[in-house]
């Protein structure tokens, strides 16, 4: 998912003195950040809706918040999967004042709960700890959900995407922006046909912008380029690039966030949330329908800076936040966070700062993930959004301030750089208990897994890479050998590494049961019957732990959520079937019946 890094903090200018052989503009990056001025600071975009969201009346319009059960409630006649250290299975669970008071047999729970407890007959259904989504993007979900979906589920190929943009243009007023999302070159053939020339033909009177599914690449027409003042004479932004024709004229392909924001910065409507309270509520409602009780926003402030955090705080105070929120501040505009005094642990049980996010490379499916070797059939190593020495300085500085640092790294070279940075932090005196994370952690070699174990680093896998993009990675992007290194959860588990998995929504949908399916089966969406490296399949129990106990630990919330144990919040999900008892291929079809957060039923089917 996208985010921008403020490289001024590292102190690197044009004479950074890079000695790494692989580091060059021809290999690692397009416009390398260590050899260029800083990226545009956040705060250029200002949305009135965020200002209005500071007023209590805006939140009061949401109506009364969900009511908690009064007294003690026992969930009886259930298959309670606690996900505790022993993976205990119980038949009943009791909670009072939002917290669990007893788990065990019905007689044991009744004895602890008291005679006045209300008993709910669950009819033998399965109760799990509420699912925890450790990596999603809160406001991008709210924003991008409004745009036309031109992804693989709706448009077969690039020509269909162009046709759809033409249809939207025919319905639009002249000059009105047309914005779409989810185009995926790895799943939809003909990406080279989506450019300014093609979009000009179908939408000559409207600026057009299409988000790549990775959110690290954009496509626009000449009208949008003109609005962004992008010409043949325009230099590439730091860490990004404008695709160009042979004569140097921009071709409408925007590679990297800085290039994308050059256009999007002139389209506030595409980046805005008209009604912040309602948008926040919609995101939580979607999560609750999927059984999610906690999620972590990875790159908070990337759209509206501190205004996003203020919205989170107001949302939590309103009583309408039905999904606990943990968040990592984006590196972009780091001085703004410093000026305002943000610190690890700020917040409460509903909304809390738990990390510092740095984006070090792009996406593999967009061929912007930073690789040791070039992409299949290309002389292209991807993009380093942050040069490795700058990354070290960023990580060390923030880790010494007490922040658990979260580094987005997709390519194997980017993972090397992240591990080097974490090692530098330990050498500077940071304790290994800091819980450094590598996000996506897509391509892992054996020796990198060994380093991750030695450095006590915790990866979180975008496991949808395997199911949705595995065939494309194998056939078009990496080749079979390297693609087998994708999403190596089983190998990490065997080394004692605590790992999780995530959706990165809006990159893929935050559906925990689909994530469990992806990790357990490793099936290929575009190849019926195909499986990617079955040796990396994990058990259902391991997959459940990754989305409950270990996800809580990664998000610094294991003391309050992640397992069903006395003293923790009554955050749980009721399913119509037990994922541990059905055929692996049937896991994705399990239905969420109810979702409870703090003893409040926030969703019922």
User: Rounded CA gap, 235 and 211, in Å?
Assistant: 22
Q: Which tens digit of pLDDT belongs to each residue from 209-244?
A: 999 987 779 999 999 999 999 999 999 998 899 999
> What average pLDDT does range 184-197 have in this prediction?
92
pTM of this structure = 0.85
State the virtual CA torsion across 328, 331, 335, 338 in degrees, nearest 10: 20
Q: Which tens digit of pLDDT belongs to each residue from 422-479?
A: 999 999 999 999 999 999 999 999 999 999 999 999 999 999 999 999 999 999 999 9
Counting every residue, how long is the chain? 605
When pLDDT is cut at 50, 70 and 90, the band that residue 54 belongs to is: low
Q: Which contacts (CB < 8 Å, 24+ apart) does range 420-428 have? A: 420/388, 420/391, 420/392, 421/388, 421/391, 421/392, 421/394, 421/395, 421/396, 422/395, 422/455, 422/457, 423/455, 424/392, 424/395, 424/396, 425/395, 425/396, 425/399, 425/400, 426/455, 428/396, 428/399, 428/400
Q: Which tens digit of pLDDT belongs to each residue from 322-372?
A: 999 999 999 987 999 999 999 999 999 999 999 999 999 999 988 989 999
- The overall longest dimension of the chain from CA atoms, in Å, is 82
User: Rounded CA gap, 146 and 149, in Å?
Assistant: 9
């Amino acid at each position: 998912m996208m985010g921008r890094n403020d490289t001024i903090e590292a102190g690197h200018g044009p004479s950074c003195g890079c000695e790494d052989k692989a580091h060059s503009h021809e290999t690692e990056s397009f416009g390398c950040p260590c050899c260029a001025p800083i990226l545009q600071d956040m705060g250029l975009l200002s949305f009135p809706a965020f200002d209005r969201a500071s007023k209590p009346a805006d939140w009061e319009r949401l109506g009364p918040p969900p009511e908690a059960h009064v007294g003690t409630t026992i969930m009886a006649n259930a298959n309670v999967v606690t996900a505790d250290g022993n993976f205990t299975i119980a038949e009943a669970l009791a909670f009072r004042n939002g917290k669990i008071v007893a788990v065990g047999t019905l007689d044991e729970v009744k004895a602890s709960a008291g005679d006045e407890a209300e008993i709910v007959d669950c009819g033998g259904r399965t109760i799990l700890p509420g699912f925890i989504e450790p990596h999603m993007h809160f406001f991008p979900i709210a924003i991008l959900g409004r745009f036309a979906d031109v992804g693989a589920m709706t448009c077969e190929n690039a020509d269909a995407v162009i046709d759809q943009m033409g249809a939207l243009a025919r319905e639009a007023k002249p000059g009105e922006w047309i914005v779409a999302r989810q185009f995926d070159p790895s799943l939809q053939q003909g990406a080279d046909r989506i450019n300014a020339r093609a979009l000009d033909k179908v939408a000559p009177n409207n600026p057009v912008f299409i988000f790549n599914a990775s959110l690290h690449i954009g496509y626009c027409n000449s009208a949008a380029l003109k609005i962004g003042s992008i010409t043949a004479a325009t230099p590439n932004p730091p860490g990004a690039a404008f695709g160009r024709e042979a004569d140097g004229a921009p071709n409408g392909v925007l590679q990297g966030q800085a290039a994308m924001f050059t256009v999007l910065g002139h389209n506030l409507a595409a980046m805005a949330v008209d009604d912040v309270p309602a948008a926040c509520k919609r995101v939580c409602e979607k999560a609750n329908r999927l059984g999610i009780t906690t999620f972590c926003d990875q790159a908070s402030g990337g759209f509206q800076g501190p205004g996003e955090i203020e919205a989170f705080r107001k949302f939590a105070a309103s009583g309408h936040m039905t999904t606990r929120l943990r968040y990592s501040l984006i590196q972009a505009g780091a001085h703004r966070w410093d000026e305002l005094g943000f610190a690890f642990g700020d917040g409460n049980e509903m909304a809390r700062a738990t990390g510092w996010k740095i984006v070090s490379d792009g996406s593999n499916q967009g061929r912007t993930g930073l690789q040791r070797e070039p992409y299949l059939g290309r002389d292209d190593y991807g993009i380093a959004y942050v040069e490795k020495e700058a990354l070290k300085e960023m990580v060390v500085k923030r880790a010494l301030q007490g922040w658990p640092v979260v580094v987005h790294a997709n390519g194997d070279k980017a993972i090397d750089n992240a591990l080097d940075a974490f090692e530098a932090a330990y050498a500077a005196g940071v304790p290994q208990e800091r819980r450094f994370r590598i996000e996506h952690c897509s391509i892992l070699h054996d020796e990198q897994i060994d380093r991750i174990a030695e450095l006590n680093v915790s990866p979180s896998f975008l496991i949808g890479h395997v199911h949705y993009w595995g065939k494309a990675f194998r056939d078009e992007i990496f080749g079979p050998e390297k693609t087998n290194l994708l999403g190596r959860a089983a190998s990490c588990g065997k080394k004692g590494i605590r790992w999780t998995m995530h959706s990165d929504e809006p990159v893929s949908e935050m559906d925990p049961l689909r994530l469990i399916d992806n990790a357990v089966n490793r099936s290929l969406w575009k190849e019926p019957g195909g499986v990617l490296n079955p040796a990396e399949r994990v058990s259902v129990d391991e997959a459940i732990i990754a989305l409950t106990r270990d996800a809580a630990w990664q998000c610094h919330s294991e003391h309050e959520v992640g397992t069903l144990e006395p003293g923790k919040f009554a955050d749980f999900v009721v399913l119509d079937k037990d994922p541990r008892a059905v055929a692996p291929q049937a896991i994705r079809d399990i239905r969420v019946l109810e979702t409870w957060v703090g003893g409040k039923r926030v969703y019922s089917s």
